[in-house]
Amino acid sequence: MCPFSTQLYLSQVMKNPSRFKPVLALAVLCWTTTWTSAQIERLNLEQMVAKSDDAILGEIVKSEVIRIDHPIDGPELYYTHLTVKGRSLVDGKAQTTVVTFAGGFVDSEHGVWNSEAPSTEDTKIGNEVVAFYAHTSNMGGGLAANALYAAHGGLYRTVEGRMGKVVLGRGDGYAIAENLKLPTLDERITSIQQASRREGGAK
Amino acid sequence: MKYFNAALPCFALGFASLLLLSTSETRAFSLNGGSLGLTQRDVRVFNNFTNPEANDNQTPHPQFPGAQGAVMAIWKSAVEWGSMPHGDGTGDPTQPVLGSGGANFDFSFQGEATEVGGIDDNIHSVISGSNGGVLAFTELPISNGWRTRYYDVWTWEDGPGAIAVGYDIQSAATFAHGSALGIAQSSDPNATMRGIITPTSTSLRSIEADDIAAIQTIYGVAGPSKPVINGIVIANGQITVLGSGFDPSGNEVWFTQASAGGDGTPVKVTDLESNGDSVAAMIPANAGPGDVLVRRNGTSFGSLSNAWPTDLMDTGNTCPTPVSYCTAQANSVGPGAQIGSVGLASLSVNGFSLTCTGLPANVPGIFFYGDAQTNTPFGDGTQCVSLTIRRLGVRFADGAGAVSQTLDFASPPLDSGGGAAFPGGTKNFQFWYRDVAGGPSGFNLSDGLSVNFCN
């Protein structure tokens, strides 16, 4: 069973068979991770850009899971910190950012699967991703962090195509619904930012 | 040859794509590989929602007795995944019937918790703070249980009708229960497990065809081996659960706990006999308004019935309480055997059982009955029943010296002829048993029980 984004991607491959290398398509076929569901906000790209602090394009270079036991929010709160090294899609500057989502395992026996977390395939070290994030002073259990905005809905993998990098969309309701060439995403985010500034809403 | 080499992966890709696209038309859901066993059917709510809209529904509903506000909304979300309509199926004005799963799975609502609980305690609760665009989440050890959290930053509403502002608790909880059941995600835009939530929407309250296919894939389609409850009768502190598929012995009746707290384990009455269509039990003091379920022998997903709502109040059946008479004589283990009963002596309910306690362990005996009473020495005891005696078959006392027998008013000798029970009629029952060590005759009898039958 392929996740929705993979099916969308395959549809695009079928309509434009010459645009992508077969090997890329086969690689995407194998990118099947299903541990995501959705109790997240329905967001388009404009809304995601407006609500998040930034979007980073980069490589996941580190992954760490922490456990918090909180007197009010409860025991065994697990959070995963992903360190992403790359550049901002908003201003283009180089940055290394730690983004955080709920869920994860500190070892093979201690941790939780979180229904909204990105899949383990999506969060592998070495993956190149686009991550939207926003700082929050309390993600639960008093943890202040750059929350991966909308959890799995804020993380999008890239793949290399013949025409350049492609950001894999997740389907209707997600900020990046369909697969986008990376320059197209760059342009759209810049355009959204410029429009926001014209309206006096720049961050 | 070059053409062949190039074509092969393309054919393979095309075929694989067609398979995937074709599959998506009939099965859009994906599973996370886990399931909830019979020990993980409980659902509790730690009602720490802070915004008033989350608990402003204070109108009771007969299908959700004892619950209001967020607790009722979450209970509704659980029963929507149930195998068949919950009671009469009403309670949600946005859909005609609650209880659409059709699978070998039903939750056991266990009321309110008093704390957040651990990651496998099967509790819904609010978590402080915010997590970007995440509204709620479910933590999933899966086979050991789950925990669902709702971020406090959002405005939550309990319904039951349209949602004016904020997010619908029942919708989010329906989705959360799907996650807890083992469903990961659906690509079907109509499925609840697609689940991108929008403010004021109640569309996720009702599970759809793809969600139903998912739960039936995990737990199997509800079939003939799954016990079914279709009604209850309550009188004189006893509940008679009506339905089908109950085992001859070893049944359990599960109740919702009366007080908040606990560990999620249902209040249970165990080792209950049945004629297949009804199970009778005394209502435990720690049982409260909620759901009852019947578990028959077995450990399969389908060993547990559907959930049936009840406030545990007397349902108004006017069957008289059976009356003891006559006096048992002492036997080898004590002052004498005492006959009793469980359930209503209702011919239509057909869930009445005789009991006898105070017997020597493992001895054989026979329940018998007649139309008249007497008080005549007989063997080492007293005969309390006379006129035409009818016997109900040999039973053996258990190791604790107890025995029971469920009467079947639809079968001989109770359904016809002189031995027939009829509304308003009375029969007198007694238990005869072997007791070689108890006296010179080697047998004895219980006291008598006069039973007046109702319709």
Contacts of B135 in chain A (CB under 8 A): 39-41
3-state helix, strand, coil split of chain A in percent (to 5) is 25, 35, 40
As given in the structure block, the two tokens for residue B140 are 């999933």
| Per-residue pLDDT at A25 | 38
| Contact present, A52 and A168 (Cβ < 8 Å) | no
Q: Is B50 helix (H, G, I), strand (E, B) or coil?
A: coil
CB within 8 Å: A37 and B197:
no
Q: Does ipTM come in above 0.85?
A: no
Flag whether residue B27 sits within 8 Å of chain A, measured between CB atoms: yes
d(CA B337, CA B359): 5
CB within 8 Å: B179 and A137:
no
Exposure of A153 by Cβ count < 10 A (0-12 exposed, 13-18 middle, 19+ buried)?
buried
Flag whether residue A153 sits within 8 Å of chain B, measured between CB atoms: yes
Contacts of A136 in chain B (CB under 8 A): 129-132
How far B358 CA sits from the closest chain A CA (Å)? Answer: 50
Flag whether residue B149 sits within 8 Å of chain A, measured between CB atoms: yes
Q: How many residues does chain A have?
A: 203
Q: Which of B164, B204, B169 is nearest to B69 (CA)?
A: B169
Flag whether residue A108 sits within 8 Å of chain B, measured between CB atoms: no
C-alpha separations of B166 from B51, B152, B409 in Å: 10, 12, 55
pLDDT tens track of chain B, all 455 residues?
333 343 334 334 333 443 444 444 468 999 988 999 999 999 999 999 999 999 999 999 999 999 999 999 999 999 999 999 999 999 999 999 999 999 999 999 999 999 999 999 999 999 999 988 999 999 998 789 999 999 999 999 999 999 998 999 999 999 999 999 999 888 888 999 987 788 999 999 999 999 999 999 999 999 989 999 999 989 888 999 999 999 999 999 999 999 999 999 999 999 999 989 899 999 999 999 999 999 999 899 999 999 999 999 877 666 788 999 999 999 999 999 999 998 888 888 888 899 999 999 999 999 999 988 999 999 999 999 998 899 998 999 999 999 999 999 989 999 988 899 988 889 999 999 999 999 999 999 999 999 999 88
- The one-character DSSP state at A102 is E
Best mutation target, B115, B156, B196, to test chain A (most A CBs within 10 A): B196
| Per-residue pLDDT at A36 | 46
Fill in the amino acid letter for B318.
T
Q: Tell whether the model's pLDDT for residue A165 goes beyond 60.
A: yes
Flag whether residue A123 sits within 8 Å of chain B, measured between CB atoms: no
